[in-house]
């Protein structure tokens, strides 16, 4: 079990550029989540997948944000036309949908985005 | 929407002593889960302890225990025999329908040697 991995760990970009983050969940987990965390705050829910289906999107996820999980394994989060307000840590998490540890989320180390 | 409130932005505790973190939440649900997560500096978030709302018994995990008061919608975390490695940000979190976590703003705990 290698845990949840995210790439890149850090991304610095100029305003208006597009960025993409990748998340590889724990292999047997069928649920995958994206959260956004700003400095000194708790994570805010962005979106959630059950296998390849995107089942919920937060209102925080504007039209510039898109997430995919094409084969029910890894996921990507793309931000188009980045703005300075997009600067944050983007966290990915995965979980089981049944069993004793249902509901427990396993987090990656996050991808930190800085928009200049 | 569920809200989770952590009223203590920062707490400091001497090594080997006990510290209690408070958390309140607001929900109309009867079945839900509550969690405490720990986020060490520059490290990933990990689960400390979880509580199912239908269980009256308070959860315990080694030096970590909770005081779950369902009627008061209160869920505090007690860290006993604090260790330097407990220094971290602690988040209280609420989950209904078994899939989406809502987090509080967090409490930064510093353990002093």
For A64, the token pair is 């510039």
CA-nearest residue to A38 within chain B is: B105
**DSSP tag of A102:** T
Distance linking the first and last C-alpha atoms of chain A: 36
DSSP string of A62-97, one letter each residue:
-TTEEEE-TTSS-EEEEE-S--GGG-EEEEEEEE-S
For B24, the token pair is 């309140």
Cβ contact, residue pair A48, B99, below 8 Å: yes
Contact present, B7 and B22 (Cβ < 8 Å): yes
User: pLDDT digit string (tens) for A42-72?
Assistant: 999 999 999 999 998 998 788 999 999 998 8
Interface of B with A (CB under 8 A): 4, 33, 35, 43-47, 50, 91, 93, 95, 98-106
Strand-pair partners of A22: A7, A76
User: pLDDT digit string (tens) for B58-108?
Assistant: 999 999 999 999 999 999 999 999 999 999 999 999 998 767 889 999 999
Interface of A with B (CB under 8 A): 3-4, 31, 33, 40-45, 48, 50, 56, 91, 95, 97, 102-105, 107-110
Cβ contact, residue pair B44, A109, below 8 Å: yes
């Amino acid at each position: 079990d290698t845990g949840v991995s995210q790439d890149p760990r850090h991304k610095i970009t100029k305003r208006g550029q597009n960025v993409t983050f990748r998340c590889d969940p724990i292999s047997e987990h069928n649920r995958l989540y994206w959260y956004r965390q700003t400095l000194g705050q708790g994570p805010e829910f962005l979106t959630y997948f059950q296998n390849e289906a995107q089942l919920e999107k937060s209102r925080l996820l504007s039209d510039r944000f898109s997430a995919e999980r094409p084969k029910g394994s890894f996921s990507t989060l793309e931000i188009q036309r980045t703005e300075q307000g997009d600067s944050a840590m983007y966290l990915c998490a995965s979980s089981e949908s049944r069993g004793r540890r249902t509901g427990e989320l396993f987090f990656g180390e996050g991808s930190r985005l800085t928009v200049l | 929407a569920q809200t989770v409130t952590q009223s203590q932005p920062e707490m400091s505790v001497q090594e080997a002593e006990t510290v209690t973190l408070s958390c309140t939440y607001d929900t109309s649900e009867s079945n839900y889960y509550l969690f405490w997560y720990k986020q060490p500096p520059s490290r990933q978030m990990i689960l400390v302890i979880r509580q199912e709302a239908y269980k009256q018994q308070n959860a315990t995990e080694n030096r970590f225990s909770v005081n779950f008061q369902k009627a008061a919608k209160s869920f505090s975390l007690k860290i006993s025999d604090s260790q330097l490695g407990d220094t971290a940000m602690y988040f209280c979190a609420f989950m209904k329908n078994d899939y989406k976590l809502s987090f509080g703003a967090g409490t930064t705990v510093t353990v002093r040697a």
